[in-house]
Amino acid sequence: METIFSGIQPSGTPTIGNYLGALKQFVQLQNDYNCYFCIVDEHAITVPQDRLKLRENIRSLAALYVACGLDPEQATLFIQSEVPAHAQLGWMLQSISYMGELERMTQFKDKSAGKEAISSALFTYPSLMAADILLYNADIVPVGEDQKQHLELTRDLAQRFNNRFNDIFTIPDIRMPEVGARIMSLQEPTKKMSKSDENEKGFISMLDTPKQIEKKIKSAVTDSEGVVKFDKVNKPGVSNLLTIHASCSGESIEELEKRFAGQGYGDFKQSTANAVLSVLQPIQEKHAELMQSEELDDILDSGAEKANQAANKTLAKAMKAMGLGRVK
Ligand code: TYM
C-alpha cells in the first residue's frame, strides 16, 4: 500500500481554503493509502506565537482532523514536536540545502516581506518540511497549490541525498484537488485565502458561526457586472465564490453558472453560504464534542507512537548514510 503524508500548521483555525485544498482530500484518501497526517507545530513557531494560543490551536486542529472524518484507526494522526526525528532529519537536510534555493521560495518571500526580525527557521522551513515527508517514505503528498514549490524542493533534496549518500528516500509526488487547490481571499480575490490574514473578513474559518459565514460571503468582493460566470482574470471574486460553492456542494461550475444565469449576486451568495454551512456545521458539532472528550489524547498518544516507530527507522538509515554517530 502506498504511503501518504501531509501536514497543517496550528497557526490559527484552519480556513475553508485549508479544508477544500487539503483536509477534504485527506478524508477521501484514507481508505486507499497508509496515511500520516501531522499537526506541524514546529513549523508554526517559525513566526512568533502566543504559547497558550498555540497549545489551544494544536488541540483544536487535532479535533478538526477527526471531525472532518479522519478515522484514527486508519490514519496516523500526530503532533510533529512529539516525534523528535523531524527536527533531527530537518537539520541534516539543511546541510544539503543551498541558500540560493531557499531564497527562491515564494512563501519565505511573502512571509518575510517588510518584516525586520525574520527568524532563521522561517528561512530553513522547507528543509524541515522535506524531512516531514521523507521520514515516512511518502509516495504522495496531498496539498493545496501554494505548497507546490516546497514539494519540488523536497524532491530535489531527496534526489540529492540519494545521489550523494545512499538510495534511502522515496521521491514523493504532489497531489492537488482539481477544484479548490487555491481558494482566494474574500476581500482581495487575487490573493490566497490565509488563516493568518489580518483582515478577518478575508477568510472563512472552519469554526466561524453561521452568522459570521453568511456575513463574510455577503460582503465578499465581486464586481459590478452582475453576471455569475467563471472568469479568473476578469472576475476573480465571482470565480472564487463559484469554486467554493462547487467544491462544497459537489455541483460543477457550469451547472452553477446555468442555475444563476440572469440572477444578480444576492441569491448566488446566499446559496454559496448555504453550501459552506452544509459542509461546516456537522464538522463544528463533532469538533465541539471532541474538545470535551479524552478521546483526543488517546488518539494523539497512539499516533505519536506509530509515527516515532516509522520515523526512527528512516532516521537511523539516513544517519548511517551520512556517517553520523557510531556504527552499531
Ligand atoms: P498550511 O498550514 O498553510 O496549509 C495546510 C494545507 O492547506 C492548503 N491551503 C490551501 N488550499 C487551498 N486554498 C487555500 N487558500 C489554501 N491555504 C492553504 C495548503 O496547501 C496545505 O496543503 N507548509 C505547509 C505545512 C506542512 C506540510 C508538511 C504540508 C509542513 N510540513 C509536509 C505537507 C507535507 C503549510 O504551511 O500548510
111-134 pLDDT, tens digit each: 999 888 999 999 999 999 999 999
86-104 pLDDT, tens digit each: 999 999 999 999 999 999 9
Is 147 near ligand 1, meaning CB less than 6 Å away? yes
Q: Give the three cell numbers for residue 213.
A: 459565514
What per-residue confidence (pLDDT) applies to 11?
94
Distances (CA, A) of 247 to 31, 182, 259: 21, 12, 16
What per-residue confidence (pLDDT) applies to 7?
98
Q: Give the three cell numbers for residue 24.
A: 477534504
- For 139, other C-beta atoms within 10 Å of its C-beta total 17
How much is the average pLDDT of 183-193?
Answer: 97
Q: Which helix (H) or strand (E) holds 36?
A: strand 34-39
How much is the average pLDDT of 43-55?
Answer: 97
Between the CA of 143 and the centroid of ligand 1 the distance, in Å, is: 6
Is 141 near ligand 1, meaning CB less than 6 Å away? yes
Residue 175 has pLDDT above 90, yes or no: yes
Distances (CA, A) of 114 to 109, 118, 125: 10, 10, 19
How much is the average pLDDT of 148-176?
Answer: 98
245-271 pLDDT, tens digit each: 999 999 999 999 999 999 989 999 999
Residue 144 has pLDDT above 80, yes or no: yes
Q: Does 192 qualify as catalytic in the annotation?
A: yes
What per-residue confidence (pLDDT) applies to 327?
82
Q: Give the three cell numbers for residue 133.
A: 515527508
What per-residue confidence (pLDDT) applies to 328?
75
Closest ligand 1 atom number to CA of residue 142? 22
Considering just the CA atoms, what is the radius of gyration of the chain in Å?
21
Residue 73 has pLDDT above 90, yes or no: yes
Instruction: Tell me if 202 sits within 8 A of 190, measured CB to CB.
Output: no
ipTM: 0.99
Q: Is the dihedral of CA 277, 279, 280, 284 positive or negative?
A: positive
Is 60 near ligand 1, meaning CB less than 6 Å away? no
What per-residue confidence (pLDDT) applies to 212?
98
Burial label for 234, CB within 10 Å (0-12, 13-18, 19+), is exposed
User: Rounded to two decimals, what is the model's pTM?
Assistant: 0.97
Sheet of strand 34-39: strand arrangement: 76-79, 34-39, 3-8, 140-142, 173-175
